[in-house]
Structure 1
Amino acid sequence: MMFRILIVLLCCCFFSRQAQGQQKHVKEINHLIEQSYPQLVTIYQELHANPELSLQEANTSKLLVAELGKLGIQVTENVGGFGIVGVLANGDGPTVMIRTDMDALPILEETGLPFASTKVVKDPSGKETPVMHACGHDFHMTTWLGLAKIFMQMKSKWKGTLVFVGQPAEEIGAGARAMIADGLFTKFPKPDYALAIHVNPNLKAGTVGYCPGFALSNVDNVAIVVRGKGGHGASPHTGIDPIVIASKIVLSLQTIVSRELSPVNSPSVITVGAIHGGTLGNIIPNEVEMKLTVRSFGKENRQFLLDRIKNTARGIAIASNVKEADLPIVKVNEQYTPSVYNNPALTNLLSQQLEKVLGAENIIHLTPEMVGEDFSNYTALEPTLPTLIYSVGTSNERATADGKVMNYPVHNGKFQPVLDPSLKTAILSMAYSVFVLLDNKN
């Protein structure tokens, strides 16, 4: 009995000391955030005013390299394109990877901010397009730089290795794959954990949100070319109308999700977003092209949907007397974005620890969403790596004169995160999380 009491007392003593140490970290982290905040806001505004499209992030990466260089962090450029890797080695201990995305979107900014983007560039097709950081990657990069500065300033308080990854081309789902293919996990210290954040305008500023397990969906782009036999619109019986066949396919695709999959265990989406075919009302075309987005969770569910899409298109065409040689062509983009899987143990550990720092009321449990994020590729291509991407609330709860709250979604020309306290919350939550992992010897 006395032995058990002694063990309990020793455990209490250990966790009490650990908690006290972590609280000291919090005070110092907050102090350092306040010190560097004006400089970080300036960096944020510069990044926001100078966005670059996917695969064009040359100046953005140079800015990040320069800022890491000022801190004395060893940086390697041009990893998988414009990707950068900064390594901060500080003795024996866990290796933690912190990733930020860098690219912006072809969207016209409408925020009216004094540092709003006025950039117009040529996209890959040569067409001129406005560019905006409408998905918060400028916010992510600023958080990332703030984190790097804190861990340089607190170098005497931790042991281990931090790998700062600046990733290009997240918006087109190509950056993570490219960096891994270029040796991210072989040329640099292999991480024990990988972390990232994403802005969330559906959460109020000062909060963070977590979703253990599947959090964001597989994203597949599918094209279906429906072929028929063209002819005169006044004599449809002499041809095979691909527009009618395509219409039947569109309707039948909707029943795959609603009638063949569990809405609880296998949530999925099949959306036909574009149909192109024909030139005039009195001409039956030879073919119609449809473009789809397909969202799902997990490998098995994804493959089931893709197989059923192919079989549905084929079956309807056969029933419409289309010859074998002219059956629909179904093209699935091989460079799909796999679903984000947040390691449950890692997610629960960090969310519980952050309750002590931010308060339980500011830790939000999120449900899976049907959007994609190529952070998933770090786990998909390195399955043993525990990863976590969590949300940082950025909504502005201050009402306008008519009582309405300005809360625009990402990928919108009016999206703007409220920086204070969102940016401070992002840096504090990530810094504290990294300290927890560096202290985790298991």
Structure 2
Amino acid sequence: MSQFVHGLVSKIEQVLPMAEALYKDLHQHPELPMQELRTSNIIAGKLREAGFEVTEKVGATGVVGVLKNGAGPTVMLRADMDAVPMKEETGLDYASRIEVVNEKGETVPVAHSCGHDMHTTWLTGAATVLSLARDSWRGTLIAVFQPGEETGKGSQAMLDDGMTQRFPRPDVIMGQHMLQCRAGTVGCRAGQVLTSGDSLLVRFFGKGAHGGMPQNGIDPIVMAASAVLRLQTIVSREIAPQTQTVVTVGEFHAGTAENIIPAEACLKLNVRTTDEGVRNHVLQAIKRICVAEARASNAPRDPAFEEINNFPLTVNDAETTRKIGGAFQDYFGDRFVDMPTQGASEDFGRFGKAWNSPYTYWFVGGCAPELYDKALQAGEIEQLPGPHSPFWAPTLHPTLRTGIETMLTAAGVWLAGRPTTSD
């Protein structure tokens, strides 16, 4: 066990009841991206109680807490706060039953089905422990609670709000995410760990007409449907097989009645890539194919393209990850694993780029051990509910404690003045 975190065990035990209550409260009261008013207010209060200097409304609803504790390194720990517009089906007695009005004026269900309530709880718990144990470390801790990760807007909103000028430059930036791995396990890797992500709205234009008189119209559904099929050839015929690339059309909207050829059809699509050159090629290929299909159908104008969101590549700094990985190995032993690259995307990396600071992002398991072991034995790991599943219900213990321990272990590499070592 690492000497630093070993010395904090009693403080962790002291904080766990608060963390569990906070998690259940946040889980029952999820908020959509950039609308995290209740969550940010609660977190600001917790940080003030712990003695942090707190700044609210950074990038709309972001919260930044700074705890200065003598001369030493500056460490930034980050968590995201937002939830997703979907209905929870876990059956938990603290499940979300929230419905809200979104930006479009639609009433939608909201749930913490990506685990950001756990992320927020972990950071609050770790920050509270470090406040209680100020005699064991030196330096400055910056606790960043970010809004709007799901839309990729939150980190940029905070940076646009002058974050790099308003707060000390971190020597290192760290973040973590819960996955459907075995609870109590921790995974990390150097280099590229998450994909870049781009989402687009493509609007095709035709000419409306009666369904029984198609010669009088130009059908945008046909051109959009043809584009959907042709878009899949980007991955299969334009990208090297060893390159991880995904193009997904997740929405297709057109028409109001079965006997009317509509004037427009809309696609929403998502791209995941692991290389910036490949990313640029795929985005250009999407536009080329959509324009070509529209012109082949004699469309009155080329399609219109609108960026919905974008996420940069997440690439862990090698030396920073080596130090953190060593500390995890010392503390967690065989519960620390080398995590493969994940297909999801994050906006966390923007903080490191803006400050020119090294960063590392890792993963913590949240699946009940008995469920995970049963699925592993049956060869059904892929069937376990995970992020963005309405059935994902992470087990509270040891997940709560593990996520607090990971943040303390990683932060201790810098704040404790030496790399953590085993007892």
TM-score (norm 2): 0.89
Question: Counterpart of 1:39?
Answer: 18
**Could you say what secondary structure the match of 1:75 adopts?**
strand
| TM-superposition CA deviations, 1:345-367 (whole Å, max 9, x none) | 212221122111101x2222222
Matched, 1:290 2:267: yes
The one-letter code matched in structure 2 to 1:313 is: C
The 5 A counterparts of 1:225-304 are 225-231=203-209, 233=211, 236=214, 239-264=217-242, 266-304=243-281
Q: 2:332 pairs with 347, 358, 361, which one?
A: 358
Question: Counterpart of 2:118?
Answer: 139
Question: Counterpart of 2:395?
Answer: 418
Q: Structure 1 residues 274 and 71, CA, compared in 2 at 3 Å: closer, same or farther? A: closer
Give % identity: 37
**Could you say what secondary structure the match of 1:427 adopts?**
helix
Q: Structure 1 residues 140 and 236, CA, compared in 2 at 3 Å: closer, same or farther? A: same
Matched, 1:312 2:289: yes
The 5 A counterparts of 1:337-416 are 337-359=311-333, 361-382=334-355, 384-399=356-371, 407-416=384-393
Question: Aligned-pair distance for 1:440?
Answer: 5.8
The more displaced of 104-113 and 171-180 is 104-113
Confirm or deny: 8 A CA contact 2:251 2:267 kept in the other structure.
yes
Confirm or deny: 8 A CA contact 1:29 1:428 kept in the other structure.
no
Question: Aligned-pair distance for 1:232?
Answer: 5.1
Q: Structure 1 residues 407 and 288, CA, compared in 2 at 3 Å: closer, same or farther? A: closer
Question: Counterpart of 1:10?
Answer: none
The one-letter code matched in structure 2 to 1:388 is: T
Q: Structure 2 CA distance, aligned partners of 1:292 and 1:301? A: 17
The 5 A counterparts of 1:24-173 are 24-173=3-152
Question: Aligned-pair distance for 1:234?
Answer: 5.2
Matched, 1:330 2:295: no
Confirm or deny: 8 A CA contact 2:15 2:129 kept in the other structure.
no
**Could you say what secondary structure the match of 2:111 adopts?**
coil
Question: Aligned-pair distance for 1:99?
Answer: 0.8
Confirm or deny: 8 A CA contact 2:192 2:341 kept in the other structure.
yes
Question: Counterpart of 1:7?
Answer: none
**Could you say what secondary structure the match of 1:416 adopts?**
coil
Question: Aligned-pair distance for 1:110?
Answer: 2.6
The one-letter code matched in structure 2 to 1:261 is: I
Question: Counterpart of 2:178?
Answer: 199
Matched, 1:212 2:212: no
**Structure 2 residues not aligned, in runs of 5+:** none
**Could you say what secondary structure the match of 2:228 adopts?**
helix
Q: Structure 1 CA distance, aligned partners of 2:74 and 2:205? A: 54
Q: Structure 1 residues 399 and 244, CA, compared in 2 at 3 Å: closer, same or farther? A: closer
Question: Counterpart of 1:5?
Answer: none
Q: Structure 1 residues 64 and 279, CA, compared in 2 at 3 Å: closer, same or farther? A: closer
Confirm or deny: 8 A CA contact 1:199 1:394 kept in the other structure.
yes
Question: Aligned-pair distance for 1:162?
Answer: 0.7
Q: Structure 1 residues 42 and 329, CA, compared in 2 at 3 Å: closer, same or farther? A: closer
Question: Counterpart of 1:6?
Answer: none
Confirm or deny: 8 A CA contact 1:101 1:141 kept in the other structure.
yes
| TM-superposition CA deviations, 1:278-311 (whole Å, max 9, x none) | 4455544333222211111243222111111111
CA RMSD of superposed structures (Å): 2.5
**Could you say what secondary structure the match of 1:196 adopts?**
strand
Q: Structure 1 CA distance, aligned partners of 2:384 and 2:214? A: 51
| TM-superposition CA deviations, 1:13-40 (whole Å, max 9, x none) | xxxxxxxxx8321321223212322222
Larger radius of gyration between Structure 1 and Structure 2: 1
Q: 1:434 pairs with 389, 393, 411, which one?
A: 411
Q: Structure 1 residues 213 and 287, CA, compared in 2 at 3 Å: closer, same or farther? A: same
Question: Aligned-pair distance for 1:238?
Answer: 5.9
Question: Counterpart of 1:14?
Answer: none
Q: Structure 1 residues 279 and 54, CA, compared in 2 at 3 Å: closer, same or farther? A: closer
**Could you say what secondary structure the match of 2:370 adopts?**
coil
The one-letter code matched in structure 2 to 1:340 is: T
**Could you say what secondary structure the match of 1:253 adopts?**
helix
Confirm or deny: 8 A CA contact 1:226 1:287 kept in the other structure.
yes
| TM-superposition CA deviations, 1:186-233 (whole Å, max 9, x none) | 1111111111111111x1011011132222222212122223444455
Question: Aligned-pair distance for 1:149?
Answer: 1.8
The one-letter code matched in structure 2 to 1:177 is: Q
Q: Structure 2 CA distance, aligned partners of 1:281 and 1:119? A: 35
The more displaced of 412-421 and 222-231 is 222-231
Confirm or deny: 8 A CA contact 1:396 1:407 kept in the other structure.
no
Confirm or deny: 8 A CA contact 1:226 1:329 kept in the other structure.
yes
Question: Aligned-pair distance for 1:118?
Answer: 2.8
Q: Structure 1 CA distance, aligned partners of 2:125 and 2:343? A: 30
The one-letter code matched in structure 2 to 1:331 is: E
Q: Structure 2 CA distance, aligned partners of 1:279 and 1:109? A: 30
Q: Structure 2 CA distance, aligned partners of 1:116 and 1:238? A: 53
**Could you say what secondary structure the match of 1:145 adopts?**
helix
**Structure 1 residues not aligned, in runs of 5+:** 1-21
State how many pairs are aligned. 412
Question: Aligned-pair distance for 1:235?
Answer: 5.7
